Amino acid sequence: MRPKVIAGNWKMHHGPSATRRFFSRFFSEFSPRFEGAEPTILIFPPAISLPAAAESRGGRPEIGLGIQNIHWESKGALTGEHSASMALAAGARFALVGHSERRHVFGETDAQVELKVAAAIRESLTPVVCVGETLDERRGGQVEEVIVRQLDAALLGVPEGAKKPILVAYEPVWAIGTGETATTDDVAEAHGILRRRLTEVRSDGFAQGVAILYGGSVKPGNAADLLAVADVDGVLVGAASLDPESFARIAESG
């Protein structure tokens, strides 16, 4: 059994002070249990808020922190970027890679996703690879083609024998920030495709070690149903992760 992972992607919300307030209210709402070797509650604040998040989290191993984006170079003349090693030094252990906003707003390509996955693993960050189709691609019957292509590109960046596996997040673009949630059948189908592909490209053992999260308009009212779907190992929550009470309710569903 893979433990359920409840992840919050704060996107461009919550500076350092709001981050401290979030944690103090979150901890008064919810006491995460810690049973495994890996954190099961992940928070991805803006990079500038990572030190505040690390300080507020204290010594609680059940909460993992991540950065929302990294550059694949370790340093250089790259104004505005952050390297994986800097994220690690600021308290991150995870990195979102290929989020749909990075792909569609900032033009991130599959080739860059591969480089970022490789850079994250090289620096001991666990990549959380985001994949998902647009509405046009879904209407065109291309769901499998798109998410398999995105997954394959990311897997090129994972060295054979990598100790800690990646996480994958299926986030249909049309369900992000729209209030539209994929049906549980859509989610089961996409997660099944991803699990089978992980097995085909690597091995059954590798595939079984990869948590596949669903993201797209997850909220307290639908989290339990989504988490009950076959092959759904967790959720990646945007808007509803900004409020400590609503994130705590979602975390209790896991």
Q: How many CB atoms lie under 10 A from the CB of residue 181? A: 19
Q: Provide DSSP, 191-253.
A: HHHHHHHHHHHT-HHHHHT--EEEESS--HHHHHHHHTSTT--EEEESGGGSSHHHHHHHHHT
Query: Per CB under 6 A, does 84 bind ligand 13P?
Result: no
* Residue indicated by tokens 């104004």: 79
* 190 versus 206: smaller Cβ distance to ligand 13P: 190
* 65 versus 240: smaller Cβ distance to ligand 13P: 240
171 labelled catalytic: yes
* 99 versus 195: smaller Cβ distance to ligand 13P: 99
CB-CB contact of 93 with 42 (8 Å): no
29 labelled catalytic: no
Query: In the complex, what is the shortest distance from the CB of residue 49 to ligand 13P, in angstroms, rounded to a whole number?
Result: 16
* 6 versus 90: smaller Cβ distance to ligand 13P: 6
Task: Point out the residue whose Cβ comes nearest to ligand 13P.
Answer: 238
Closest by CA to 48, choosing from 1, 78, 92, 7, is 92
Query: In the complex, what is the shortest distance from the CB of residue 225 to ligand 13P, in angstroms, rounded to a whole number?
Result: 15
| Binding segment toward ligand 13P, per CB under 6 A, in 13-21, 73-81, 189-197, 210-218 | 210-218
d(CA 125, CA 123): 6
Query: In the complex, what is the shortest distance from the CB of residue 87 to ligand 13P, in angstroms, rounded to a whole number?
Result: 17
Query: Per CB under 6 A, does 211 bind ligand 13P?
Result: no
d(CA 58, CA 196): 38
The set of catalytic residues is 99, 171
